[in-house]
Amino acid sequence: EAGVAQSPRYKIIEKRQSVAFWCNPISGHATLYWYQQILGQGPKLLIQFQNNGVVDDSQLPKDRFSAERLKGVDSTLKIQPAKLEDSAVYLCASTGQGSNEQFFGPGTRLTVL
């Protein structure tokens, strides 16, 4: 079974630029999560989707971050415009229906200069 796929693996941008990350969850997994992991910290949840609907986006900085999962499968996370403090690893995870086990992708490491 293929795992959670993310791309790109690395991205370097300048502040005020825009960036987008892509996630393909495990096939059949209805729930998808985006986390932000700042260096030296644990991951923090940004947004949770159930199929194509948002379950929780309370921690998403909506003035600059947006996410969508239009067809209930792949998801994209966008930052526009980026700030220096957005430098982090962005992790995507997914779970099957009724399961508590989240499977994580390898992450996208973003550096904002």
3-state SS class at 65: strand
Q: ∠ CA 111-41-51 to the nearest 5 degrees?
A: 80
For the beta carbon of residue 81, count every other beta carbon within 10 angstroms: 15
**Binding to another protein by residue 101, rule CB under 8 A?**
yes
Q: How far is the CB of 45 from another protein (least distance, A)?
A: 6
Strand-pair category, 108-112 with 10-13: parallel
**Binding to another protein by residue 102, rule CB under 8 A?**
yes
**Binding to another protein by residue 22, rule CB under 8 A?**
no
**Binding to another protein by residue 71, rule CB under 8 A?**
no
Binding-site ranges for another protein (CB under 8 A): 4, 31, 33, 40-45, 48, 55-56, 91, 93, 95, 99-107
